[in-house]
């Protein structure tokens, strides 16, 4: 997704903040595709751009989770794509934790998020083929073959952008932020965890270790491997990542 006009999103955020009677601090520097700023000590205000259609049902997902494994939604203005959210405190992500600890936390959070759901959430199967066709990659032929072999689930809510930087520490435990929720299957969420955190470079031995941990928690290892190639193709895996992804299948 191209970088949105953050100045436009900032104007909306300040309009909403004034109406809700909250004062915004300086926005978080790591929020590059949405406008996200502290709103008092215990909340943040987030405004997502219209072109980020994968976030269309973020509010509905947060309502469904109800604070179990994810930050709580405190208030929303759907028409302006504005959300008032619980602020995770102290808020450090899991990128700096030991490898196995971070993976175990991800598994624990994921099991809370992966729950039955239906409309208004959209099914990933209606989108993945289009994403594969949008920007062909050296992995695309293999990805299409692997995707065709999957009977893609459609009854489980997935986070959609599940990785180290979207899992934050809080007084209530580790919580997910920034979902791009759709209906699918848990295995769909694992690939983005495999090639993070930044600036980590994907390695086969560590990838296999992570996959084994998720498999031990009940996920289907073969499906995780297939999804890694599929998602790597349409998300634009670099040369090193492509080599690792080919080795997975």
Q: What would the pLDDT profile of 167-181 be if each residue is shown by its tens digit? A: 999 999 999 999 999
- The domain locations on the chain are 6-86, 92-248
Would you state the pLDDT for residue 108?
A: 98
Measured between alpha carbons, how far is 167 from 178 in angstroms, rounded to an integer? Answer: 9
Superfamily of domain 6-86: Phosphorylase Kinase; domain 1 (3.30.200.20)
Sheet with strand 167-170: strands edge to edge: 90-93, 167-170, 175-176
Confidence class for position 70, pLDDT limits 50, 70, 90: very high
How many beta carbons lie within 10 A of that of residue 199, not counting itself?
A: 6
The residue among 49, 41, 9 whose CA lies nearest residue 25 is 41
The residue among 81, 36, 87, 80 whose CA lies nearest residue 55 is 81
pLDDT reading at 24 higher than 80: yes
Measured between alpha carbons, how far is 47 from 10 in angstroms, rounded to an integer? Answer: 8
pLDDT reading at 1 higher than 70: no
Q: What single DSSP character describes residue 136?
A: -
Measured between alpha carbons, how far is 56 from 53 in angstroms, rounded to an integer? Answer: 5
Superfamily of domain 92-248: Aminoglycoside phosphotransferase (APH), C-terminal lobe (3.90.1200.10)
Would you state the pLDDT for residue 30?
A: 77
Would you state the pLDDT for residue 2?
A: 62
Q: What single DSSP character describes residue 70?
A: B
Compute the average pLDDT of residues 72-90: 97
State the Cα angle at 129 between 127 and 132, rounded to 5°. Answer: 110
Tell which phi-psi region holds residue 21, choosing left (phi > 0), alpha (psi between -120 and 50) or beta: left
Average pLDDT of every residue of the chain? 96
Would you state the pLDDT for residue 123?
A: 98
pLDDT, tens digit, 9 for 90 and up, residues 162-212: 999 999 999 999 999 999 999 999 999 999 999 999 999 999 999 999 999
Which pTM value belongs to this model?
0.96
């Amino acid at each position: 997704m191209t970088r949105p006009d953050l100045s436009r999103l900032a104007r909306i955020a300040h309009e909403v903040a004034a109406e809700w009677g909250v004062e915004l601090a300086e926005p978080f520097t790591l929020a590059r595709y949405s406008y996200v700023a502290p709103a008092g000590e215990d909340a943040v205000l987030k405004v997502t751009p219209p072109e980020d259609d994968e976030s269309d049902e973020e509010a509905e997902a947060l309502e469904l989770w109800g604070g179990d494994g994810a930050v709580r939604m405190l208030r929303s203005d759907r028409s302006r794509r504005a959300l008032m959210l619980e602020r995770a405190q102290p808020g450090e992500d899991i990128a700096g934790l030991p490898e196995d600890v971070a993976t175990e936390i991800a598994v624990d959070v994921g099991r809370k998020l992966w729950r039955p759901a239906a409309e208004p959430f959209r099914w990933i199967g209606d989108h993945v083929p289009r994403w594969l066709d949008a920007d062909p990659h050296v992995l695309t032929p293999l990805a299409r073959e692997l995707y065709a072999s999957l009977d893609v689930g459609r009854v489980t809510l997935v986070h959609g952008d599940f990785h180290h930087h979207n899992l934050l520490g809080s007084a209530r435990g580790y919580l997910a932020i920034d979902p791009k929720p759709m209906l699918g299957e848990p295995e769909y969420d694992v690939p983005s965890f495999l090639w993070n955190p930044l600036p980590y470079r994907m390695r086969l031995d560590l990838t296999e270790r992570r996959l084994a941990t998720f498999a031990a928690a009940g996920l289907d290892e073969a499906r995780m491997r297939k999804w890694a190639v599929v998602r790597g193709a349409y998300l634009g895996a670099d040369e090193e990542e492509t080599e690792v992804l080919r080795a997975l299948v």
